[in-house]
Amino acid sequence: MSIDLVNFTPLLSLAGGLAIGVAATVLILFNGRIAGISGILGGLLTLPRSDSAWRTAFLAGLVGAPVLAVLAGHPARPDIEAGWGEILVAGLLVGIGTRYASGCTSGHGVCGISRGAIRSLVATATFMAAGFLTVFVQRHLIGA
Amino acid sequence: MFVVTALCAGLLFGFGLIVSGMANPAKVLGFLDLAGQWDPSLAFVMIGAIAVGAIGFALAKRRKKSLLGLPMQLPAAGAVTLRLVLGSAAFGVGWGLAGFCPGPALVALGAGYLKAWGFVGAMLVGMAIFELLERTKAGWRRA
């Protein structure tokens, strides 16, 4: 392992992380809800549909954030290396997986660990391990 | 009012993802590539978010109602199940393949990236498959 000093952004990443923490705090203190993206989105597909207003509002904020970022002089510039096949398979796996796991990086990784939930710690360790392994296989075994 | 606070939380969450670099799949994959040129940034995002979140959730646990008088819906302590582990593993594989998890994918969709639309579309199909399987299972239980 060697650290990628060119792309490493400790301060910006820490600052962005703090903003994410504040956002999760706002949602739990004002709305009494967990800021878990997969759960908020997935909850729109569950019947009966009773609480779609706050879910839609939160997701609209997330989707609209790039506009705010442009105004703040920090536009989002996603660099998507994956091909279409990988994108579609990945999306499918993320959709099914996060629903069975009842959470993703936000719900388990940020909120769950913040509240000290063992379940979320196990989920986070598992999806990170699977992510490390997938990238290793793809970049260093297949792609080598 | 609760719609306004939810919208603000979503905006700030997405803004945090962008500033931290996490809306960029290449950066996320840089973190997941331990054997290559490793970019530890994602760990710093988690540290920042959890440091603030720990305070927020500690405050939330002391309340029965939210500041807007809504019920405080904190998940009950659950067991570690096979469902949780297998679901997380499948999610992790997808995460490693594309570098997208649900939040950043929605942000990139908002920024107008076609592949992000494709990813979110496939993710919704995945979530719909889960709903369908769960409803079928519930139907069997009733029968």
How far is the alpha carbon of A136 from chain B, nearest alpha carbon, in Å? 6
CA B23 – CA A79 distance, rounded (Å) = 9
How many A/B residue pairs have CB atoms within 8 Å?
521
The 10 Å CB-count burial string (b at 16+, else e) for A99-109 is bbbbbbbbbbb
Residue A124 confidence (pLDDT):
98
Domain extent listing, chain B: 2-142
Does A75 contact B at CB distance below 8 Å? Answer: yes
SS3 at position A104: coil
Contacts of A131 (CB under 8 A, 6+ apart): B32, B92, B93, B95, B96
How far is the alpha carbon of A49 from chain B, nearest alpha carbon, in Å? 13
Domain extent listing, chain A: 10-142
The per-residue pLDDT for range A89-116, each reduced to its tens digit, is 999 999 999 999 999 999 999 999 999 9
CB-CB: which of A65, A81, A134 is closest to B26? A81
Considering the entire predicted model, what is its pTM? 0.95
pLDDT band, very low/low/confident/very high, at A144 (cuts 50, 70, 90): low
Helices (H), chain A: 10-26, 37-42, 52-71, 84-100, 113-114, 118-136
Q: What is the DSSP string of B13-71?
A: HHHHHHHHTTT-HHHHHHHH-TTSEE-THHHHHHHHHHHHHHHHHHHHHT-SB-TTS-B
The per-residue pLDDT for range A20-72, each reduced to its tens digit, is 999 999 999 999 999 999 999 999 998 777 799 999 999 999 999 999 999 99
* Partner-chain contact B34 A14, CB within 8 Å: no
pLDDT, block means (10 residues), chain B with 143 residues = 96 98 97 96 98 97 94 89 97 98 98 97 97 88 74
* Partner-chain contact B127 A88, CB within 8 Å: no
Residue A5 confidence (pLDDT):
87
